[in-house]
Amino acid sequence: MAANVTVYDPTLVTDLISKVKGKSSLALLGQQTPVEFTGNKEFTFTMDSDVDIVAENGAKSHGGVTIDPITIIPVKFEYGARISDEFMIASDEKKVDILTAFNEGFAKKLASGLDMAAMHGINPRSKVLSDLVKANSFDIKVTNTVTYLGNSSTADANLEAAIALVEGGEGDVTGMAISPTVRAALAAMTKQNGEKLYPDFAFGGQPASLGTQALSINKTVQTAVKATAAATAAIVDHAIVGDFANMFKWGFGKDITVEVIEYGDPDNSGSDLKGHNQVYLRGEAYLGWAIFDAASFARVIV
């Protein structure tokens, strides 16, 4: 199988990354960091005790530190599409138009894919739990949970309870990702005089903060998850709150590439490209992420 491999030029790569940030809650709330293709070994450092007051000539006691290594391993994300082989004889300007459109679509899919994989541990296409990523997901790692009661009178109380869980464990909260369901519940809340309690959420509002917390509203938060391909999908999360600024990192592990494939059956569909006057565009990216302290997060679940 012959293929021409092209690395996106700097303009397109910048465009792609900026769109990912605009569409991914985790990319928006967390820190982006360079990721080596072979993985990054990061270390968390904790002082186990408070400082000690020591009298003159008094004995000093052991405080202790804990250093834990966490490795960020990049995972391959792929998206491909068949198009007419007229692409190969199109003008350079037309090819750029097609590749730009593909770039924009891949950016959106990659953004939501990061959320679905890191939040829920699933393969974004199948929505089935993936052995590659499930152990490194918020759904598996974060055990601080609050039950979402599913009505407009308690939505803010549920978020407050989740924040209290994190702060009760001496963690900080820098942001929250909530589902459209929670957004709608907040929008419906009113004061005794009938005024909206959270008017910024009304009529599909997308505020960037709630109280002092950075906020992202995204349907990826409440993605329905399947344990197996044959299982019934179930929605678990409606919000994730915590220290995204310090205890979560994500990043690209390799240059983002697009292949223009002219021959064979690259999507295993049983259909030969040449036999159907088609070429195949394939975008690939390697993304890695790490949750450094699961206790610094809490989930609002159903």
- CATH number of the structural domain spanning residue 199: 3.90.1690
For 3, phi and psi rounded to 5 degrees? -150, 145
Q: Is residue 267 part of a domain?
A: yes
Q: Which residues contact 240 (CB under 8 A, 6 or more apart)?
A: 119, 138, 142, 176, 177, 221, 297, 298, 299, 300
Cβ atoms 32, 249 nearer than 8 A? yes
- Residue 65: the pLDDT is 65
Q: Is residue 95 part of a domain?
A: yes
Q: Is residue 270 part of a domain?
A: yes
The number of distinct structural domains making up the chain is 1
- Residue 47: the pLDDT is 67
For residue range 210-246, what is the model confidence (pLDDT) as tens digits?
999 999 999 999 999 999 999 999 988 999 999 999 9
State how far the alpha carbon of 60 is from the alpha carbons of 47, 48, 198, 219, 228, in Å: 16, 15, 53, 53, 55
Instruction: Give me the residues of the chain with pLDDT under 70, please.
Output: 1-22, 37-39, 41, 43-49, 64-65, 152
Which residue range forms the structural domain that includes residue 164?
Answer: 3-46+67-301
- Residue 224: the pLDDT is 95
For 71, phi and psi rounded to 5 degrees? -105, 130
Q: Is residue 62 part of a domain?
A: no
Q: Is residue 60 part of a domain?
A: no
Q: Is residue 52 part of a domain?
A: no
Q: Is residue 254 part of a domain?
A: yes
- Residue 93: the pLDDT is 81
